[in-house]
Amino acid sequence: MEVKARAPGKIILSGEHAVVHGSAAVAASIDLYTHATLTFPTSPEHEDMLKLQLKDMALEFSWPISRIKLAFSQLGVPFSSKPTTCSSESLKLIAGLIEEQSIPEAKVALASGVSAFLWLYTCIQGFRPATVVITSELPLGSGLGSSAAFSVAISAALLAFSDSIKIDLRRPGWLDFEELQLDLVNKWAFEGERIIHGKPSGIDNTVSTYGNMIKFKNGNLTRIKSSMPLKMLITNTKVGRNTKALVAGVSERNIRHPDAMSFVFNAVDSISKELANVLQSPALDELSITEREEKLGELMEMNQGLLQCMGVSHASIETVLRTTLKYKLASKLTGAGGGGCVLTLLPTLLSGTIIDKVISELETCGFQCLTVKIGGNGVEFSNGSS
Ligand SMILES: Nc1ncnc2c1ncn2[C@@H]1O[C@H](COP(=O)(O)OP(=O)(O)O)[C@@H](O)[C@H]1O
Ligand SMILES: C[C@@](O)(CCOP(=O)(O)O)CC(=O)O
Ligand SMILES: [Mg+2]
């Protein structure tokens, strides 16, 4: 018995961080995925183990089911058909299970992901032996939503084999969940994101679940249908950072300067709303596309300025901004900042020669450039034959 799920990463076009404080934000899925494969054992030798393989990291974790039962015996079985938040007591028990596995020092950031996995697994599947294999095309901790794609892919695979969701695994290829099933996957994935981000807004798991392009505010999504082509260059500064710490840093700044920060968050809210309107305004002719691209670029630059106000830019991000500005291209950080990835708007009429020059200059600085497809499908499942 095997099921696979894949969930996309995302870019945030405007509104990261401010969205945690109630402002609107705009995000789109990208065609880089995290895959989760869930297999229930058929041979008796694997009968009492829960295994998690992180293939790209060459890491494998395994726990005897009896050990997991023992850990949770103090607090009761977390098994639940309703999305449930992991309490601090449960998180401590899970931390104990992970400590026994001794993660190499250089990969210790993965512990929050493994905690999210253990919580989702025991809640959705209880104490059932299985092997879960994870692979990802997304760079981890770079602002492209690897944590959400991880939580969404795992939730989807686990739910696909639960009583909460009935799916037909006979058809080949990648298949869509129904709307109510997506809602459930999204809610569980949010509980995973809580463990990894501390205080997530929910935008990343929502766009990874439903795909395409969304405006998101206070937990509510509005689907956006862009009427213009959108091409972005993604530059990965390769400076590692952690979303949880950056989100906490902005909250602390908000506590120190509540009046000033409320203006910053309000300004971001207006920028996101305007950006969503520009994307959706009716297409007329090529000139209007150019005008709209100019507006988008300006809004992205204004958003970047406000992210600097929040204290989440970084020297490496500033280097990308300076480099792209030489070519009159607008850029902003995407995701939590502090390093990670930067978006640069590539106008439709920009020549390939200029794009090649910018990329080569950015790569000379040691950065990695990616071009991705924006706004594809959200989470999907398959019977393992794809
Ligand atoms: N494929 C994966 N395997 C294990 N953990 C993962 C995976 N993808 C993401 N994570 C978890 O998410 C964390 C990165 O999330 P975060 O700091 O929010 O950055 P981002 O979401 O931008 O990639 C990792 O340190 C790890 O705990
Ligand atoms: C900073 C934030 O707005 C986005 C974080 O995205 P990422 O984890 O850096 O991909 C946090 C959130 O909305 O939960
Ligand atoms: Mg994240």
> Residue 252: helix, strand or coil by DSSP?
helix
> Residue 347: helix, strand or coil by DSSP?
coil
pLDDT band at residue 305 using 50, 70 and 90 as cut-offs? very high
**Whether residues 279 and 254 fall in one domain:** yes
Per-residue pLDDT reduced to its tens digit, 47-71: 799 999 999 999 999 999 999 999 9
Structure-model confidence comparison of residues 104 and 342, the more confident one: 342
33-47, 175-189, 191-205: least confidently modelled range = 33-47
Residue 386 lies in a domain: no
pLDDT band at residue 78 using 50, 70 and 90 as cut-offs? confident
Report how far residue 328's alpha carbon sits from residue 323's, in angstroms, rounded to the nearest whole number: 9
**Whether residues 241 and 210 fall in one domain:** no
Res. 276: pLDDT tops 60:
yes
ipTM of the predicted structure?
0.99
Per-residue pLDDT reduced to its tens digit, 323-355: 999 999 999 999 999 999 999 999 999 999 999
Per-residue pLDDT reduced to its tens digit, 204-227: 999 999 999 999 999 999 999 998
| Residue closest by Cα to atom 6 of ligand 2 | 335
Report how far residue 303's alpha carbon sits from residue 333's, in angstroms, rounded to the nearest whole number: 9
Q: Which of 248, 151, 238, 158 is nearest to 199 (CA)?
A: 248
Report how far residue 76's alpha carbon sits from residue 71's, in angstroms, rounded to the nearest whole number: 9
Sequence-separated contacts (24+) of 215-220 with Cβ below 8 Å: 215/24, 215/25, 215/26, 215/272, 215/273, 215/276, 216/15, 216/19, 216/24, 216/25, 216/26, 216/27, 217/19, 217/22, 217/23, 217/24, 217/25, 217/269, 217/272, 218/22
Mean pLDDT of the chain: 94
**Whether residues 209 and 339 fall in one domain:** no
Number of domains composing the chain: 2
Final residue belonging to a domain, choices 192, 207, 222 = 222
Residue 384 lies in a domain: no
Whether ligand 2 lies within 6 angstroms of the CB of 194 is answered as no
Final residue belonging to a domain, choices 222, 257, 288 = 222
**Whether residues 142 and 196 fall in one domain:** yes
Whether ligand 2 lies within 6 angstroms of the CB of 207 is answered as no
Task: Please state the φ and ψ torsions of residue 330, each to the nearest 5 degrees.
Answer: -90, 140
Instruction: Give, as one character, the DSSP assignment of residue 79.
Output: -
Whether ligand 2 lies within 6 angstroms of the CB of 78 is answered as no
Residue 383 lies in a domain: no
- The token pair at 104 is 């190499």
Residue 218 lies in a domain: yes
**Whether residues 296 and 218 fall in one domain:** no
Cα dihedral sign, 29-32-36-37:
positive
Domain containing residue 343: CATH number = 3.30.70.890
Amino acid at 157: A
Structure-model confidence comparison of residues 195 and 108, the more confident one: 195
Per-residue pLDDT reduced to its tens digit, 152-172: 999 999 999 998 888 888 888
**Whether residues 213 and 277 fall in one domain:** no
Residue 115 lies in a domain: yes
What is the model's pLDDT at position 180? 96
Residue 158 lies in a domain: yes
**Whether residues 119 and 198 fall in one domain:** yes
Domain containing residue 137: CATH number = 3.30.230.10
* Rg value, the chain, Cα: 21
Residue 380 lies in a domain: no
What is the model's pLDDT at position 282? 83
Mutation pick for ligand 2 pocket among 13, 19, 221 (CB with most ligand atoms within 8 Å): 19
**Whether residues 107 and 189 fall in one domain:** yes
Task: Give me the mean pLDDT over the 162-183 stretch.
Answer: 91
Report how far residue 87's alpha carbon sits from residue 76's, in angstroms, rounded to the nearest whole number: 12
What is the model's pLDDT at position 373? 95
**Whether residues 17 and 98 fall in one domain:** yes
Report how far residue 382's alpha carbon sits from residue 386's, in angstroms, rounded to the nearest whole number: 7
What is the model's pLDDT at position 170? 86
Mutation pick for ligand 2 pocket among 151, 190, 203 (CB with most ligand atoms within 8 Å): 203
What is the model's pLDDT at position 135? 98
Range of the domain at 357: 226-371
Residue 377 lies in a domain: no
**Whether residues 240 and 209 fall in one domain:** no
**Whether residues 148 and 285 fall in one domain:** no
Q: Calculate how far, in angstroms, residue 46's C-alpha sits from the geometric centre of ligand 1.
A: 28
